[in-house]
Amino acid sequence: MLDYIIDDFTSFRIACDDKSVGAMIVCKTNEQARKLYALWNERYDLALSVIEKKKEEIALMAAEKLMHYNASFFEKPLKASLILHDEGDKKERKEYIVDYKKNMATDFLIVNKMLLTGFDANRLKKLYLGRKLDGHDLLQALTRVNRPYKDFKYGYVVDFVDIKENFDATNDRYLRELNKTTDDPTLNLPANPGQAIIENPEEVERQIKELTNFLWNFPTENYEEFRKVIDEFDDKEPLYRLRKILEDAKGLGNRIRSSGNEELQDKYKNMLPGGIPVLLREVDRRIATIHFKEGNDHSEDVSGMINAILDSLDFEFRKGISEELKIIINSLQEEVEKVRAEFDANFDKKEDKFVNLIKEFKKYFREHGYIPKDKTEAEAEDSIFYLKDVMKKIKEINRKNRVLKAHYKDDERFVRIHKRIVEENAKRDQSDKKEKPLLSKEEFEIQRSLIEIKESADYLFEKNPGIVENEDKLRKDILGSVSHKFMDLDLTASLDDRKFISNLISNEYIHQYNSYGV
């Protein structure tokens, strides 16, 4: 069963062209969940060792063989976390959930009874049911995969235990209850709500015809020709329309596959000989390129640009270029992947040094392009040298973050608060107003004071975890807590300074709550 799940979910991600979606496995017992998790880790470790061995083999390959490999060949295997009420402590379980919901460092959650109700993770789009559920519990579990996420209209369930009878009975009870409580005859509720997503075959055929008619204007059979055509567009509007059409085609394909109608599936396959995910990536790449050339990309991260760079490099890798340049482009891909990983590891996207590095990175590739313009080894090596320099800078930023994180007992929120205070003090030091620094001009003294304030704030939340739901009360109570702690520490500060610090703290707690609800 486990091998099937891994293969099925890997195929699911490829079909969706989205590596960010996650999954959950619901086991029959805690013991079964532990066994499944142990087997998972065995496969995970084995896959990692195979990847390392392949890397060693490829390092010794001749240039003509190397061309068959690129950075995506070495993607890490799927990772899982075990969430049980009698496994680990509350803090550990919370970290697993944050890794899944916010950090996306985990692909699967393995559970028994936990997280089936009240757990909202928008990226959860596939549920593997290994035990039967009834009534309200069944509906709650199924709706875990129904949260809005990107262009997904619904989630998917793989049923290992035949829940159809329970599902039909639960739907029937739900429908009867709903009919009792509504007097609106216009609702026209279906006899079986589960049939609502099944498409009318004639309507689907009409949609396929419309999509085929539009896409016929593009050489979708040949990726290289398709890229050449869309690279001639300098206006984003027709590209937006093309992307919408491709996304509609992708969604239609998902619905057709879910319906099980083989005749419709055959017609859908004939509509697009090429793969929709590849075409969508090409359109997104061109839109991103236009954005960067126009200088309109002001996002805090570089994920869009890095994806465009990697797609461009991968495309060039598969084309007719010299074997020597293929080796260098492969090295360039690896450097880009390393830089992306280091950028992703940063947890303070507002730090001045980080923001400036992002701007510098975008400026470089906006001016030099994603690939060597003249396709020479010297140009590619210049880009590799530049990426190594960026890597050095971002690693130093992240190293300092880790040191600060240790000082704050692994609390990233107070690392960011600490740095905003340091930045504010730097501005005050350069100002003509000669304002007094916040807390202290020395970082170690800032940390000593903030760690005391942190304990006071944490205690406030321990007493009343629901306080974060009332923003006005939260800010008022945090300000009071900060003011009292200033008195305890014999610190003098104006009301504006105390508000500045308390707002930093409040904003962190509010952002955490809004982001992932823990």
3-state secondary structure 258-311: HHCCHHHHHHHHHHCCCCHHHHHHHHHHHHHHHHHHHCCCCCCCCHHHHHHHHH
Tokens 């991600």 locate to 13
CA–CA dist 216, 237 (Å, integer):
19
In a domain, 174, yes or no: yes
Structural domain count, the chain: 4
Q: Say whether both 113 and 10 belong to one domain.
A: yes
The amino acid at residue 28 is: K
Q: Which residues pair with 217 in a beta bridge?
A: none
Reported for 142-149, long-range contacts at CB under 8 A and 24+ positions apart, including other chains, are: 142/167, 144/24, 144/115, 144/116, 144/119, 144/120, 145/24, 147/120, 147/121, 147/122, 148/122, 149/21, 149/122, 149/123, 149/125
In a domain, 304, yes or no: no
Q: Say whether both 416 and 402 belong to one domain.
A: no
- Cα 359 versus chain centre, distance: 22
Q: Say whether both 395 and 464 belong to one domain.
A: no
Q: Which residues pair with 108 in a beta bridge?
A: 23, 80
CA–CA dist 171, 175 (Å, integer):
6
Q: Say whether both 400 and 431 belong to one domain.
A: no
Please list, residue by residue across 175-191, b when 16 or more beta carbons sit within 10 angstroms of its beta carbon and e when fewer do.
Answer: eeeeeeeeeeeeeeeee
Q: What crossing angle do the helices spanning 135-142 and 164-181 adopt, rounded to 10°? A: 100
In a domain, 190, yes or no: no
At residue 152, the pLDDT reads 80
**Range of the structural domain that residue 378 is part of:** 323-407
Please state the length of the chain. Answer: 518
In a domain, 306, yes or no: no
CA–CA dist 43, 36 (Å, integer):
11
Candidates 300, 204, 317; CA nearest to 252 is 204
Q: Is the dihedral angle over the CA atoms 249, 251, 257, 261 positive or is it negative?
A: negative
At residue 195, the pLDDT reads 44
Q: Are the C-beta atoms of 422 and 446 separated by less than 8 Å?
A: yes
Whole-model pTM: value is: 0.49
Q: Per the structure block, which two tokens stand in for 511?
A: 């952002």
At residue 26, the pLDDT reads 92
Domain end point (choices 407, 423, 450): 407
Residues 6+ apart with CB under 8 A from 337: 71, 310
Q: Say whether both 8 and 111 belong to one domain.
A: yes
Q: Say whether both 459 and 394 belong to one domain.
A: no
Q: What angle do CA 191, 194, 195 make, to 5 degrees?
A: 70
At residue 267, the pLDDT reads 74
Tokens 């009870």 locate to 173
Q: Are the C-beta atoms of 22 and 125 separated by less than 8 Å?
A: yes
CA–CA dist 455, 34 (Å, integer):
35
Q: Say whether both 474 and 361 belong to one domain.
A: no
Q: Are the C-beta atoms of 379 and 432 separated by less than 8 Å?
A: no
Q: Are the C-beta atoms of 147 and 126 separated by less than 8 Å?
A: no
**Which pLDDT tens digits describe the chain residue by residue (518 residues)?**
888 898 889 888 887 878 889 999 999 888 999 999 999 988 888 877 776 666 555 445 444 433 333 434 446 788 899 998 888 788 888 888 888 988 888 999 999 888 887 788 889 999 999 888 877 677 778 888 888 888 787 788 888 888 877 777 766 666 565 555 544 555 454 444 444 444 567 777 788 888 888 888 888 877 778 888 887 887 888 888 888 888 888 777 777 766 667 777 777 777 665 577 778 878 887 787 776 566 544 455 566 666 666 666 655 555 555 667 667 777 777 888 888 888 888 889 889 898 888 888 877 877 776 555 555 667 777 888 888 898 999 999 999 999 999 999 889 999 999 999 999 999 999 988 888 999 998 999 999 999 999 998 888 877 777 777 788 888 898 999 888 888 888 888 889 999 999 999 999 988 877 764 44
In a domain, 272, yes or no: yes
Q: Quick one: which H or E segment has residue 125? A: strand 124-129
At residue 51, the pLDDT reads 66
Q: Say whether both 385 and 443 belong to one domain.
A: no
Q: Which residues pair with 111 in a beta bridge?
A: 26, 83
Q: Say whether both 12 and 52 belong to one domain.
A: yes
At residue 376, the pLDDT reads 60
Candidates 313, 279, 287, 278; CA nearest to 233 is 287
Q: Say whether both 351 and 426 belong to one domain.
A: no
Q: Say whether both 129 and 32 belong to one domain.
A: yes
In a domain, 62, yes or no: yes
At residue 472, the pLDDT reads 86
Q: Residue 36 to residues 26, 52, 144, 156, 310: CA-CA distances in angstroms? A: 11, 25, 21, 21, 35
CA–CA dist 377, 78 (Å, integer):
35
Domain end point (choices 381, 407, 433): 407
DSSP 87: S
Q: What crossing angle do the helices spanning 495-516 and 412-430 adopt, rounded to 10°? A: 140
CA–CA dist 217, 64 (Å, integer):
36
CA–CA dist 389, 365 (Å, integer):
14
In a domain, 264, yes or no: yes
Residues 6+ apart with CB under 8 A from 263: 201
Q: Say whether both 1 and 120 belong to one domain.
A: yes
At residue 2, the pLDDT reads 85
Please list, residue by residue across 200-231, b when 16 or more beta carbons sit within 10 angstroms of its beta carbon and e when fewer do.
Answer: eeeebeebbeebeeebeebebeebeebbebbe
Q: Residue 328 to residues 112, 233, 270: CA-CA distances in angstroms? A: 48, 29, 38
**Would you tell me how many other CB atoms lie within 10 Å of the CB of residue 323?**
12
Domain end point (choices 386, 407, 428): 407
In a domain, 303, yes or no: no
